[in-house]
Chain A
């Protein structure tokens, strides 16, 4: 009897622990009965349940009844990606940080709400199926200065694909705004890239999401004709070709709608940057010298 009571107590205790709220990862889509061949957008959501989280990682498993078309991070709660959402075979992997941890919510209606978006995945329904999209390999770390891991629960998303269904369709995003202003920074560190100079940059596009970055370097005067520059598609950090830092560095951020913004970093080589000051100085010195010499000659 005693053992029975103890067992019952332990059972209730374990049940109670499992009821303690943990960070929760879930999915949302306007339709779950999808027509064959249709496209749908699934939001991958996280509810921090009041915990101060600053790091998230996870893998979204997508059954073979879907093709993964693309991902979008326009409304993501993650500010910096350690690994931007990467499409692998039947899965999407992501990891990133929220510096300072996710903020407290305001209760006056200006807050974001509890279910926050991590990313959106666009899928194409390829074959009839009744299955679920799940998340695994998930990690959530607390903003406590020690990287303490906390529990994260996941809720699967159930769906049906059938030729008889008409559900599906993805709305086009109307985005007329370029990505946000940003300030690239040129730096170097002995610990990376063999001490070579590199440029780091990051911005976000809140409406259609970031597509890519391009970098160009050019010596001489700053150009206003960006179309003639030799643009290279790249990511941050980018190792500079001109390690003498005599070139203007142009960094272009492009969103998924094609809007773009260009940030320009002037040459860090002071001699190149202030060449006109140097020439002026030489001229002044030259004139002074010539004047002095002429005066002496005349006297």
Chain B
């Protein structure tokens, strides 16, 4: 075939195909569906009382196909009346968030607005605190006034109870026992723990209550944050993590090192805080004084007060339970304060701060017996520029003295007005804002001659049976050996009545240093 003929046939075929196509198109039934973008469909798609672009600020433009915040996986709204009620929000993967509203939670009916997002959605805009990861979904939970749809409600009169669920897979690399609810604080731009929550690890639920609304999430501590699950031989013993390293009691143990004690060091030593403190103590002692924190009678931490007498110390890694904490200080002259004790309940995920502790002043006298009419020197330390009230009990005498800038105070007591015989004295401190409890009680005698007192700093502590300048478990153990045994040594018989009984243990407990 000649080329021109071939070409003509081709064009003819092509033309025929086009003709048939147009004809078919022209004769086929065409259904056209026009779908308007959510941001231009005149519908309040996300129930936030704002319709379309530009009214709904979550719309980027008229062609934005979602009125919801970018990244929203599931969205729901519900009207809640002032009489209260409940609402269950179901995520796409069936994880639920249950809300319970009390009667009178707010003055008028509200519209509850809940958006859930993928776990990673907040990672850039609202990042998790260091060492923590999001658990399960993240949420925006907002309340709007039904009567004034544009007004969101920051705080309700009564708390709303929320139960959030998570999956087992959400905690595969998380310390599940430490999963807590958090709320995003717009004022600090950080996540804040919602206190008072309860965790049900059997059913993967966290229950908490809140009166404030913004973004919410569950957060837990990464297992890689703990020495016993970080894949590192932290203590250099050739063993890595739990259960290989015998220094590890669990994956959440944060210290691979075996617990061991240097000789004779049972009573002293400070705590190294590697996790955020669960219990923090702060207050006033004496300038430069060594402040000891006892936990259930054993030394838990030691700190040094500043030149302003202020101190602060924290304890972490405490098991849930009730504790008796004690705080005492030794001033720069070695005089010891009485022990100030606090009974506290430590709950999971909670932290307690005990502030405003004001240790009573230390006190010493220069004579154990003073000739009537002579001066009895009484001295001690307290917070700088505090006012010390010195009390002589037998005569209800109260004398005042001001503490100098170094923390020292001194008073010369004229014994002319005291009767012959035994007397006792104590002191307490007062600042503009606070008043301490009473110091140790010191005994002295007014007689016909003066006798120097042994400086309190070097007086053997009552109960320091083994003379190691501490009253602790060792002394208790020795006393326990002699309990109800005949002829105990005088060092153990603290009240010199020829026996070791409860009274001796009580005296030891008073002088306890840990």
1/0 per residue B96-113: CB within 8 Å of A? 000000000000000000
Q: Write the nearest CB–CB distance from B345 to chain A, whole angstroms.
A: 5
Contacts of B462 in A (CB 8 A): 145
Structural contact, A112 and B345, CB atoms closer than 8 A: yes
1/0 per residue B286-298: CB within 8 Å of A? 0000000010111
1/0 per residue A101-145: CB within 8 Å of B? 111111000111000110000000000000000000001011111
Q: Which of A72-117 contact B (CB under 8 A)?
A: 74-75, 77, 79-80, 82, 95, 97-106, 110-112, 116-117
1/0 per residue B314-326: CB within 8 Å of A? 0000011110111
Closest B residue by C-beta to A139: B502
Structural contact, A181 and B474, CB atoms closer than 8 A: no
| Stretch of A32-40, A157-165, A264-272 lying at the B interface | A264-272
Interface centre among B246, B325, B343, B495 (most CB of A within 10 A): B343
Interface flag for A275 (CB, 8 Å): no
Structural contact, A147 and B507, CB atoms closer than 8 A: yes
Structural contact, A101 and B509, CB atoms closer than 8 A: yes
Interface flag for A293 (CB, 8 Å): no
| Stretch of A14-22, A189-197, A212-220, A284-292 lying at the B interface | A189-197
Structural contact, B246 and A147, CB atoms closer than 8 A: no
Closest B residue by C-beta to A52: B341
Q: Write the nearest CB–CB distance from A13 to chain B, whole angstroms.
A: 25
CA distance A54 to B343 in the complex (A): 13
Structural contact, B506 and A183, CB atoms closer than 8 A: no
Contacts of B474 in A (CB 8 A): 185, 187, 200
Interface flag for A184 (CB, 8 Å): yes
Contacts of B489 in A (CB 8 A): 191
Interface flag for A30 (CB, 8 Å): no
CA distance A206 to B278 in the complex (A): 16
Structural contact, A80 and B297, CB atoms closer than 8 A: yes
Q: Write the nearest CB–CB distance from A82 to chain B, whole angstroms.
A: 6
Structural contact, A268 and B263, CB atoms closer than 8 A: yes
1/0 per residue B460-496: CB within 8 Å of A? 0010011010000110111011110000010110010
| Stretch of B222-230, B253-261, B389-397, B450-458 lying at the A interface | B253-261
Structural contact, A192 and B326, CB atoms closer than 8 A: no
Structural contact, A97 and B509, CB atoms closer than 8 A: yes
Q: Write the nearest CB–CB distance from B360 to chain A, whole angstroms.
A: 13
Interface flag for A247 (CB, 8 Å): no
Structural contact, A82 and B505, CB atoms closer than 8 A: yes
Q: Write the nearest CB–CB distance from A248 to chain B, whole angstroms.
A: 9
Structural contact, A97 and B343, CB atoms closer than 8 A: no
Contacts of A222 in B (CB 8 A): 258
Closest A residue by C-beta to B261: A183
Interface flag for B282 (CB, 8 Å): no
Structural contact, B509 and A100, CB atoms closer than 8 A: yes
A106 touches which one: B265, B344, B491, B506 (CB < 8 A)? B344
Q: Write the nearest CB–CB distance from B165 to chain A, whole angstroms.
A: 21
Classify chain B: how many residues form its interface, as a range.
Answer: 35 or more
Interface flag for A224 (CB, 8 Å): yes
Classify chain A: how many residues form its interface, as a range.
Answer: 35 or more
Structural contact, B476 and A80, CB atoms closer than 8 A: yes
B264 touches which one: A187, A224, A262 (CB < 8 A)? A187
Structural contact, B481 and A207, CB atoms closer than 8 A: no
Closest B residue by C-beta to A179: B319
B261 touches which one: A55, A143, A185, A193 (CB < 8 A)? A185
Contacts of B322 in A (CB 8 A): 75, 77, 112, 116-117, 206
Closest A residue by C-beta to B488: A191
A55 touches which one: B259, B298, B509 (CB < 8 A)? B509
Interface flag for B54 (CB, 8 Å): no
Structural contact, A101 and B259, CB atoms closer than 8 A: no
Contacts of B326 in A (CB 8 A): 99-100, 103
Structural contact, A191 and B298, CB atoms closer than 8 A: no
Structural contact, B259 and A141, CB atoms closer than 8 A: no
Structural contact, A206 and B319, CB atoms closer than 8 A: yes
Interface flag for A263 (CB, 8 Å): yes
Contacts of B246 in A (CB 8 A): 224, 226, 262
Q: Which of B65-123 contact A (CB under 8 A)?
A: none
Structural contact, B509 and A54, CB atoms closer than 8 A: yes
Interface flag for A202 (CB, 8 Å): yes
Q: Write the nearest CB–CB distance from A103 to chain B, whole angstroms.
A: 3
Structural contact, A145 and B510, CB atoms closer than 8 A: yes
Structural contact, A147 and B502, CB atoms closer than 8 A: yes
Contacts of B466 in A (CB 8 A): 187, 189
Contacts of A186 in B (CB 8 A): 263-264
Contacts of A198 in B (CB 8 A): 477
Contacts of B514 in A (CB 8 A): 99
Q: Which of A254-268 contact B (CB under 8 A)?
A: 259, 261-266, 268
Structural contact, B259 and A204, CB atoms closer than 8 A: no
Interface flag for A50 (CB, 8 Å): no
Structural contact, B266 and A82, CB atoms closer than 8 A: no
Interface centre among A103, A106, A222 (most CB of B within 10 A): A103
Closest B residue by C-beta to A248: B260
Interface flag for A57 (CB, 8 Å): yes
Structural contact, B512 and A207, CB atoms closer than 8 A: no
Contacts of B339 in A (CB 8 A): 99-101
Contacts of B262 in A (CB 8 A): 266
Interface flag for B38 (CB, 8 Å): no
B297 touches which one: A99, A104, A200, A226 (CB < 8 A)? A99
Structural contact, A192 and B481, CB atoms closer than 8 A: yes
A141 touches which one: B249, B328, B340, B506 (CB < 8 A)? B506
Contacts of B419 in A (CB 8 A): none
Contacts of A117 in B (CB 8 A): 322
Contacts of B440 in A (CB 8 A): 145
Closest A residue by C-beta to B481: A192
Structural contact, B296 and A204, CB atoms closer than 8 A: yes
B506 touches which one: A75, A77, A143, A204 (CB < 8 A)? A143
Interface centre among A101, A142, A177, A268 (most CB of B within 10 A): A101
A185 touches which one: B264, B465, B495 (CB < 8 A)? B264
A200 touches which one: B321, B341, B473 (CB < 8 A)? B473
Given contacts A80-B476, A112-B322, A237-B477, contact A55 B502 (CB under 8 A): yes
Interface flag for A182 (CB, 8 Å): yes
Closest A residue by C-beta to B244: A224
Interface flag for B239 (CB, 8 Å): yes
Structural contact, B495 and A192, CB atoms closer than 8 A: no
Q: Write the nearest CB–CB distance from B274 to chain A, whole angstroms.
A: 13
Structural contact, B341 and A103, CB atoms closer than 8 A: yes
Closest A residue by C-beta to B196: A109
Please provide the 10 A-B residue pairs with the shortest distance between their CB atoms, ordered closest to farther: A206-B321, A185-B266, A147-B503, A103-B341, A99-B512, A147-B506, A100-B339, A100-B326, A103-B343, A141-B506
Q: Supply 13 further A-B pairs (C-beta < 8 A) apart from A104-B343, A147-B507, A266-B262.
A: A77-B322, A79-B296, A79-B297, A80-B473, A82-B502, A99-B508, A104-B342, A111-B343, A147-B502, A183-B259, A192-B478, A200-B477, A264-B258
Sample of 21 A–B contacts (CB below 8 Å): A55-B509, A74-B321, A79-B324, A97-B505, A97-B508, A100-B339, A101-B509, A103-B342, A106-B354, A110-B344, A112-B344, A145-B440, A146-B503, A147-B506, A180-B319, A185-B474, A191-B492, A200-B474, A206-B320, A237-B478, A266-B260
